[in-house]
Structure 1
Amino acid sequence: MAVDVDTLYGDDDLHAAGALFRAAMVGLPPLPPHSDHLSEPGRTLGARIDGRLVGTAESYTSWLVVPGGARVAHAAVTHVGVLPTHTRRGVLTALLRGQLDDIAERGEVVATLRASEGSIYERFGYGVASSFARLDLYRGRARLRDTVPPSGAVRFVEPADAWKLFPQIYASAAISWTGAIDRPGYWWKLKQRTAAEPTYTVTHGPVGAEDGFARYHPVDTANWFTSRERTIVVDDLVATTPQAYLGLIRHLLSVDLVDKVTFAFAPVDAPLRHLFTDERAVGVAGVHDETWLRLVDVLAALARRTYRDASPVIVEVEDTLRTTNSGRYRICAGEVVRVEAPAEITVDVAGLGAIYLGGSTWRQLALAGRVVEHRAGAVEAADTLFATPTMPFSGTFF
């Protein structure tokens, strides 16, 4: 049974794709009212069998910050779904192969996604490149250390105004942490239309020169005044300076009638607990995979990130879907080039994606048999080359 993949443009097809995705995901709410203009034109694919739409995949034009701070051309892949009546018929394979071809033609060197299931995307070359932590901050135990530096003023912004201001702050700020991605207008519109109510929005810094913002909402408002654990959930916190981070944390600590502040998405190595005299004021509620990364152009992607000073390593990459990536690469701090010399390490493209941002190490993958060492000491040298000072983190779900 042939699967035909094409680009969807018309409103009817785009709405059908949105409804199909929700049917495939089962647990998502219906499309919000006035949900047009949430897709980037020309980047929604549809898969048809006998003329019927049975699968869809979408992406946004974006950038990704890689180790060293460079922003590389990046496709943010989202809304991938196949009708439950048409799974295991090659629909997903046809969609993702077609999408990778489209991404490559656009000159985007990497693609990332957030996975609804953990067993699907590795076979398409995606590896888990970053994780996020869910943190609980208990206000009753949270006393800031006297050594914590001062921060600037925080002000409330009406949510209607915040949805205009926050994109401006994010677009103009020097977003430089490894794993960060662009947030196009489509992303902001979808977040606005699906945000919890009530939502509170604050910014840090003087008007016109804001360097951070936060968005949060209360949980279980029906029992708010009788609850023994009144909780606010921080849905988004962006701080582009240390002062902004400290200022926003101080604001959250100052909100009365709150027992617990939950950070829905935080870096795995977040500095939050170090701010308090009792570090147990911060608890880790869970750690989950965040960025699934696919190197679309291996040479270009490897060449854009930085490396530590260490002896060069020759890495053989295996890519069964995009065979032009398969080959051997000599990697050192000064350059990355393709070579014909014998490989010292072999890894598939999904494994390399997991290592690329610094979220996993060569040693970890070697222990799992996903990296093969051909020269003694090559894995150790590769880990020195690829080491990063912080864990990667995006903070943007799409």
Structure 2
Amino acid sequence: MEHEIRVLTDAQEVGRSLEVFLTAMVGLQRPDSDQQHEFMEPGRTVGAYVAPERLVGTASSFTSWMMVPGGKKVPQAAVTDVGVLPTHTRRGLAGALVRHQLEQCLGRGEVLASLRASEATIYERWGFGIASNVAQVEISVPRAQFRDGVPRGGDVRLVDLRERADQDLLAKIYLGANWVGAIDRPSYWWRAKAHMRELSKDHHYAVVHGIPGHEDGFAVYTPEDATAWFRSRDRGIVVGDFVTTTTRAHFGLLRYLLSIDLLQRVILDPMPVDHSIEKLFTDERAVTSHGARDETWLRLVDVEAALGARTYRAPGQVILEVRDDLLRQNTGRYLVSAQGVARTEQPPDITLDVGQLACAYLGGTEFWQLAQAGRIAVHKDAQLAVADHLFGLRRAPFGGTMF
């Protein structure tokens, strides 16, 4: 199919691209049309045209970083708003848009790209893999009695998300995000979030932890069903953003949320799959985890730089043969150890494509799981355990940011 991919350069073009995306997604909330371009980073939205002025597909991204094992913030593209009009799907346009984006990433020196996928069978064909998962955690307030040894945490206070200063405070706290899988939240993200709250029928409450000037966590929550709130016997809140940069903030904010009058349930969504919140209570059945789902879809844009950016556990080494049909410069063999990463011509221990490597990159999936599913080729059985040891983490990766 004849098409042209262009970088969109003016506000009207960007506004049309968002209309295309929302039409493709069908059910997403629409922002105010006069403000659409304010939520997009200039120069990072591309469009697919099938005639000189007929825009039928789009994709966008933000300049961002991702925290990888070892604590380094690696440059990445946060890919978003990928969509093709229903009249033009199944014609290769989404692939053309994503390829264009990845080539842009290379030109900008972005080592990674990540996204949140609306469908689970699309992005693997372009080298993306599921690198982290999340869960929904529900706490029964009447049953949630803290154990005696659980720390109390510090001071908390409510803030007003309608005030720009309080919005900026949350953004400042988030700069301390220090867990594997965390990504940057640029100013465009915060502006879009504030606008969507304005359009929402629900009231959003926010509480921060820590004394003024030294805040280290926040939680944003809404009533689960405000329409039935007055007569309900099962009132709950949904905490859609729970950010803590210290364990003290983690305990302090949880205690606050469970102390709010009238509540029977507190729902934290999203949360890491290994949150272990149930261990805090005398009755562990007060906590139910469900709704586990994929979160971070990761793409290694520059495999050598990505592998070299994270740390590995000693001892041992493994030789990975990586195949990348889209960005062929990534294809090759890599010797990985705690001492670093280097290309090699030695025989491989494991052969895999770049999307499967993305699954294991943050430590969220182990190589043995991929091998058991027939998704990678293992040439030396003993090296499978070595690879899992090298890439393994104490905690599961977690993004925590929808974009």
* Alignment partners' CA distance in 1, 2:375 and 2:281: 40
Q: Secondary structure, in 3 states, of the residue corresponding to 1:35?
A: helix
Provide the residue aligned with 1:44 in structure 2: 45
Q: Which amino acid aligns with 1:165?
A: L
Query: What do the CA deviations read for 1:133-186 (whole angstroms, capped 9, x no partner)?
Result: 001111011000011012101001111233221112212x2x221000000011
Contact 1:112 1:291 in 2 (8 A): yes
Question: What per-residue deviation string (whole Å, max 9, x for no partner) do you get for residues 10-39 of structure 1?
Answer: 111111001110000011122235333100
Q: Is the CA contact 2:144–2:286 (under 8 Å) kept in the aligned structure 1?
A: yes
Provide the aligned C-alpha RMSD in A.
Answer: 1.0
Partner of 2:285: 280
Return the match for 1:55 from 44, 54, 57.
57
Deviates more, 1:272-281 or 1:114-123: 272-281
Question: Which residue is equivalent to 2:346?
Answer: 341
Name segments (4+ residues, structure 1) moved above 4 Å: none
Partner of 2:375: 370
Contact 1:18-1:31 at 8 Å conserved across structures: no
What SS does structure 1 have at the residue aligned with 2:162? helix
The one-letter code matched in structure 2 to 1:325 is N
Look up the equivalent residue of 1:135 and give its one-letter code: V
For the pair 1:208 / 2:213, whether they are aligned, the reply is: yes
Q: Aligned equivalents of 2:211 and 2:29: distance in 1?
A: 38
- 1:265 equivalent in alignment to 2:270: yes
1:167 matched to 2:171? The reply is: yes
Mapping 1:89-100, distance limit 5 Å: 89-100=91-102
1:103 counterpart SS class: helix
| Aligned-partner Cα distance in 2 for 1:375–1:233 | 47
Residue 2 of structure 1: CA displacement? 1.3
Q: Which residue matches 1:359?
A: 364
CA distance, structure 2, for counterparts of residue 219 and residue 384 of structure 1:
42
**DSSP-derived class of the 1:28 partner:** coil
1:8 aligns with 2:1: no
**Any idea what SS the aligned residue of 2:61 has?**
strand
Contact kept in structure 1, 2:111 and 2:300, CA below 8 Å: yes
Aligned amino acid, residue 354 of structure 1? C
In structure 1, list runs of 5 or more residues that go unmatched. Answer: none
After superposition, residues 28-39 of structure 1 pair within 5 angstroms as 28-32=28-32, 34-39=35-40
Query: Do structure 1's residue 293 and structure 2's residue 295 form an aligned pair?
Result: no
Comparing 193-202 and 39-48, the one that deviates more:
193-202
Code of the residue aligned with 1:306 in structure 2: it is T
1:156 pairs with 150, 155, 158, which one?
Answer: 158
Picking from 90, 103, 112, the partner of 2:105 is 103
Letter in 1 for 2:168: K
Q: Report the secondary structure of 1:160's partner residue.
A: coil
Contact 1:19 1:31 in 2 (8 A): no
1:194 Cα shift?
A: 1.2
Q: Tell me if the contact between 1:3 and 1:94 (Cα under 8 Å) persists in the aligned partners.
A: no
Distance 1:382 1:356 in 2: 11
Match of 2:253 in 1: 248
User: After the TM superposition, which residues 316-327 of structure 1 pair with which residues of structure 2 at under 5 Å, given as runs?
Assistant: 316-327=321-332
1:284, distance to aligned residue in structure 2 (A): 1.1
What amino acid does structure 2 have at the position aligned with 1:114? Answer: R
Secondary structure of 1:123's partner?
helix
Q: 1:29, 1:222 → 2: CA distance?
A: 19
Q: Residues of 1 paired with 2:107 and 2:216: CA distance?
A: 36
CA positional deviation for 1:285: 2.5
Question: Quick one: distance in 2 between partners of 1:227 and 1:289?
Answer: 32
What is the TM-score of this pair, normalised by structure 1?
0.98
Return the alpha-carbon distance in structure 1 between the equivalents of residues 342 and 37 of structure 2. Answer: 45
- For structure 2, the residue ranges without an aligned partner over 5 or more in a row are none
Q: Any idea what the Cα deviations from partners look like across 1:75-95, whole Å, max 9, x if unmatched? A: 100000000000111111110
Partner amino acid, structure 2, of 1:28: L
Partner in structure 2 of residue 188 of structure 1:
190
**2:36 aligned partner, one-letter code:** S
Q: How much does 1:378 deviate? A: 1.3
Structure 1 position 73, deviation (Å): 0.5
Distance of 1:345 and 1:30 partners within structure 2: 46
Give the match's secondary structure for 2:37.
coil
| TM superposition score normalised by structure 2 | 0.97
Q: Provide the identity percentage.
A: 50
SS of structure 2 residue aligned to 1:350: helix
Matches within 5 A, 1:374-393: 374-393=379-398
Counterpart of 2:383 in structure 1: which amino acid? A
Corresponding residue of 1:17: 17
How many angstroms apart in 2 are the aligned matches of 1:130 and 1:215? 22
- Asked if the contact 1:48–1:55 (Cα under 8 Å) also holds between the matched residues in 2, the reply is yes
Q: Which residue of 2 aligns with 1:129?
A: 131
Structure 1 equivalent of residue 336 of structure 2:
331
2:311 corresponds to 1:306: yes
1:64 aligned partner, one-letter code: M
| Partners of 1:39 and 1:30 in 2: CA distance | 14
Are the counterparts in 2 of residues 3 and 90 from structure 1 also a CA contact under 8 Å? no
Q: Secondary structure at the match of 2:374?
A: coil
- The one-letter code sitting in structure 2 at the alignment partner of 1:29 is Q
